[in-house]
Structure 1
C-alpha cells in the first residue's frame, strides 16, 4: 500500500510591506526600554517602585516650590535638587539597568535582537538612551515643577522669571550629566550577568562601597588628598563636577582641582560606554 503526501494551502504569503530598517528597530527598542523603565505595559507590581520614586521626587519638588513661594529668600537651586536625591537615584538605577539588559541575557533573546538588521551597537545605543531618558525625566520633571511654581509666584515680574530660567538651564544640564553617569555605570555592570539580583547588588555596591574611601581621604593631613577625595566615588565625582561647573555646595573643598572632576566624569562615562559596546560586540559574535 503506497502512501501519498498532500500539500495544503493555508494562506501563507510573503511580506510585501515597507522594510523600515535599523533606525526603526533602534527607535522601537528605545521606546520599549523607556516604557519598561516605568512599568508601562507590564504588571501592576512592576509599576510600584518606579512610580513610587517618581512620586517622591515630584512631592519634594512641590514642597520646595511651596516653600519658595512663601519665603522668597529660601535658597535651593535646581542643581542642588539632584544632589539631594542622589541615594534615591542609585536604587532607581540599580533596579532599572538589570531590567533593561540582564533580563535579555537570562531569557536568551540577544541572538534574536542581533539578527539583521539590528547590530550590537544599535542595541547598546537604544538601551543607553532609554535609561538616560528615564533618569533625566526623574530629575528634570520635578525641576520644571519647581520652575513653574517659582515663575508664577515671583514678585519681580519678568526679571524674576528670567532669573529662574537662568538657574533652571544649568540644573537641567546637571541632570543630563547625572543620567549619563548612572546609565553608563549601571548598564555596564548589569551587562555582565543575567541575574537581576546580582546586577542590582553590584550597582549599589559600586556607588556605596566607594563612599567610605572618600571620607578617609578627606581627613588625611594632605591638602591635595582632601581636594581629590571626591574622585574615588561616582557619587562624589558627579557632585564635585556640579560644584565646579554650577557652584553647588557639596561640603568638599575642590581647591584648584575642579577641572579634574569634569575630565574624570567625561572619561568615566566614555570608558563605560566603550566597554559596553565591546561587551555586546563579543556577545553578538558568539
Structure 2
C-alpha cells in the first residue's frame, strides 16, 4: 500500500482559550445589538439619518410642549396624549427598524450560524422583538422625561413634583403598550420576507389600511359595532385601552369626550393581550420553519 502523502501545516492560528459563554450571554448580545440596530448605531451614516431624525422630531415636540406649558401656566398635553400624537411617526419608525432587524438576516442566509449551539430557535426572534419594543419605548418615553423635567423645574414645591411623577408613570406604561403592540405586529410582518422594501411596505399597509376599516365601522347603525370598531386597527386598539384605563389623561374637553367604548373597555385590553400573544406565536412558528430548511 502506498504511504499517505498528506501534510498538516501549522499556519499560526491560535486556539480560543477564553470562557465559553452560554445562552444568556448570546441572548443578551443579540438584544443589545438589536437595540443598536434600531437606532442605526454601529452602521453607516446613511442608516442613522431616519431613526435619529425621528428622535429629533419627538424630542423637539416634547421641548416645545414643555416651553408652551411653562409660559401659559397650564398643561398643553398629557404624557399619554403625547404618545398618541406621535403614533404616526412610530409607524414609519417601525417600518424602517423592523426590516433592519430581521429581513437582512433572512436574505443573507446567516440564520444557520445564529441557530448553532447554545442559541435555541426561539431566542433569536424573542431577542429581536424585545430589542424593537425597547427602541420604541425609548422613542416615546425619553421625550416624556423631557416633559417631566421641564414641568418639575417650574413646579412649586415637592408636592407638585410628586403629582407630576404620578402623571408620568402611567404615560410611560402607555408608551410601553404602544411599543409592545407595534413591535409585535411590525416584526411579524418583517419576518415574512427577506426584502426590506417589501417588509417596510407591508408594515405601513397593515397599520394604515386598517384605519379606514375603523372609520367604516363607526358609522354603521349598530351601537355595539361602533363601540367595538377600534379593535380593527392596532392604533385604535391601543387608544381604546388608554381611554378605558386612563381617561383623564387621554380625553379632554377639547376632544368632545372621546369615542364611546361602552362596557367594552376590558375587551380592548384582552384583545391587546391576544394580539401580542398571537404575533409572538406566529413569529416563533415562522422561525421554526426557517430553521428546519
Which residue pairs with 2:221 in the alignment? 221
How much has 1:64 moved relative to structure 2? 0.7
How much has 1:268 moved relative to structure 2? 0.2
Counterparts of 1:110-129 in structure 2, within 5 Å, are 110-129=111-130
Which residue pairs with 1:274 in the alignment? 281
Counterparts of 1:1-286 in structure 2, within 5 Å, are 5-155=6-156, 157-247=157-247, 248-249=250-251, 251-286=258-293
Query: Alpha-carbon deviations, 1:60-91, whole Å to 9, x = none?
Result: 00001111111222341101111001110000
Partner SS for 1:42: coil
How much has 1:237 moved relative to structure 2? 0.5
Q: Structure 1 stretches of 5 or more lacking a match?
A: none
Task: State the distance in 1 between where 2:129 and 2:75 align.
Answer: 36
How much has 1:186 moved relative to structure 2? 0.5
Task: State the distance in 2 between where 1:207 and 1:231 align.
Answer: 12
Greater mean alpha carbon deviation, residues 68-77 or residues 45-54: 68-77
Partner SS for 1:8: coil
Partner SS for 1:49: helix
How much has 1:8 moved relative to structure 2? 2.5
Task: State the distance in 1 between where 2:194 and 2:40 align.
Answer: 19
Contact 2:65/2:76 (<8 A) preserved: no
Task: State the distance in 2 between where 1:4 and 1:117 align.
Answer: 38
How much has 1:15 moved relative to structure 2? 2.2
Task: State the distance in 1 between where 2:141 and 2:246 align.
Answer: 16
Partner SS for 2:122: helix
Q: Structure 2 stretches of 5 or more lacking a match?
A: none
How much has 1:242 moved relative to structure 2? 0.9
Task: State the distance in 1 between where 2:101 and 2:64 align.
Answer: 32
Partner SS for 1:120: coil
Partner SS for 2:185: helix
Contact 1:132/1:180 (<8 A) preserved: yes
RMSD of aligned Cα (Å): 1.5
Contact 1:230/1:252 (<8 A) preserved: no
Task: State the distance in 1 between where 2:234 and 2:8 align.
Answer: 64
Contact 1:114/1:120 (<8 A) preserved: yes
Contact 1:69/1:154 (<8 A) preserved: no
- TM-score (ref. length: structure 2): 0.94
- TM-score (ref. length: structure 1): 0.96
How much has 1:11 moved relative to structure 2? 2.5
Query: Alpha-carbon deviations, 1:226-284, whole Å to 9, x = none?
Result: 11111111110111111111111273211111111111011101110111111111211
Cα 1:14–1:241 shift into 2, 3 Å: same
Partner SS for 1:141: helix
Task: State the distance in 2 between where 1:215 and 1:5 align.
Answer: 75
Greater mean alpha carbon deviation, residues 241-250 or residues 25-34: 241-250
Task: State the distance in 1 between where 2:181 and 2:44 align.
Answer: 29
